Amino acid sequence: MTLRTQPGQMLARGVCRHLTELGFVSIEEFVPCRGLRVDVMALGPKGELWVIECKSSRADFMSDSKWQGYLEWSDRFFWAVDADFPTELLPDETGLILADAWGAELIRSGHESRLAPARRKAMVQKFATHAARRLQALRDPEFIFSV
Amino acid sequence: MTLRTQPGQMLARGVCRHLTELGFVSIEEFVPCRGLRVDVMALGPKGELWVIECKSSRADFMSDSKWQGYLEWSDRFFWAVDADFPTELLPDETGLILADAWGAELIRSGHESRLAPARRKAMVQKFATHAARRLQALRDPEFIFSV
């Protein structure tokens, strides 16, 4: 089982719990394309795709130069931060989730920019593949696949 | 972690390993629609959907009255059996995988009957949801979701 020791990972746990309550499923550390890795990718009941980046501090946010690259891979983009985070730093058009390790609350949905159908289809396929592969690694840890 | 003690579950493990080698991901005990539960649902790199039913014995096969109901939920349908199974019992148009607990081999692909696009889309969405939900249950076992 993956150890969760980083503050961002604890936020991600709370975020994923809240997403479940909203009817979404989610996976952590999802790679939509080569060179990008999002903290949480969520899939809604109608195929909605949300990206959530978890920031534990101002420094963590300021050092992220890639977040705008995530916008084209989701219908909505959210920051997840804890109650002490200076939220005035965050762009108004982005979504906002307040989180801790145990749960979260969606404060602001931000701007919606719906994916084109072909990209949505490809992303749902990738999401399914990624989730099933990780699940299998946990269910059958003795299997070492190499090609 | 789920215990695998039934012969059918051991076959499923070998099947899932081989599917990985074929570039597919898979999940066990998937419910395509209310009242049906397939042993293994596999998703290919191009969105192919295969159902695999694992039969540990002649009696196990003979008591299955539901398998024809699975055909409409997949592009291909396979039986997975061990080397001692009397394969002459199995309909020619169905696929055949020889399996044990450690691996498997695809013997016969059977008839292909491609899903309509809308059903494929719905099935990939359900596959993704199912895999991510189970993964989260393993990653965050303390979270008890109830609504």
Q: What's the pLDDT tens digit per position in A16-48? A: 999 999 999 999 999 999 999 999 999 999 999
Whether A133 is covered by a domain: the verdict is: yes
Is A138 in contact with B143 (Cβ distance < 8 A)?
Answer: no
Per-residue pLDDT of chain B (147 residues; tens, 9 = 90+): 455 678 888 999 999 999 999 999 999 999 999 999 999 999 999 999 999 999 999 999 999 988 999 999 999 999 999 999 999 999 999 999 999 999 999 999 999 999 999 999 999 999 999 999 999 999 999 987 654
Which positions in chain A touch B125 (Cβ < 8 Å)? 43, 47, 124
Give chain A's mean pLDDT.
93
Residue A86 in this model has a pLDDT that exceeds 80: yes
3-state class percentages of chain A: helix first, strand second, coil last, to nearest 5: 35, 25, 40
Phi, psi of A86 (to 5 degrees): -75, 90
Q: Which of A145, A107, A114, A135 is nearest to A25 (CA)?
A: A135
Whether A146 is covered by a domain: the verdict is: no
- B44–A contact, CB cutoff 8 A: no
Q: Show the domain range for A100.
A: 7-139
Q: What is the pLDDT of residue B146?
A: 59
What is the total count of domains within chain A?
Answer: 1
The answer to whether the beta carbons of residues A8 and B146 sit under 8 Å apart is no
Whether A2 is covered by a domain: the verdict is: no
Whether A56 is covered by a domain: the verdict is: yes
Question: Which 118-137 residues of chain A touch chain B by CB within 8 A?
Answer: 121, 124-125, 127-129, 131-136
B139 min Cα distance to partner chain A (Å): 7
Is A127 in contact with B127 (Cβ distance < 8 A)?
Answer: no
Nearest CA in chain A to B2: A139
Whether A1 is covered by a domain: the verdict is: no
This complex has an ipTM of 0.92
Question: What's CA A108's distance to the chain center, in Å?
Answer: 16
Q: Which of B26, B116, B45 is nearest to A122 (CA)?
A: B45
- How far is Cα A9 from Cα A100, in angstroms, rounded to an integer? 10
Size of the A and B interface in Cβ pairs below 8 Å? 88
Supply the pTM of this predicted model.
0.93
Whether A144 is covered by a domain: the verdict is: no
Whether B145 is covered by a domain: the verdict is: no
Whether B147 is covered by a domain: the verdict is: no
Among A18, A136, A144, which would you mutate to test the B interface (most chain B Cβ atoms within 10 Å of its Cβ)? A136
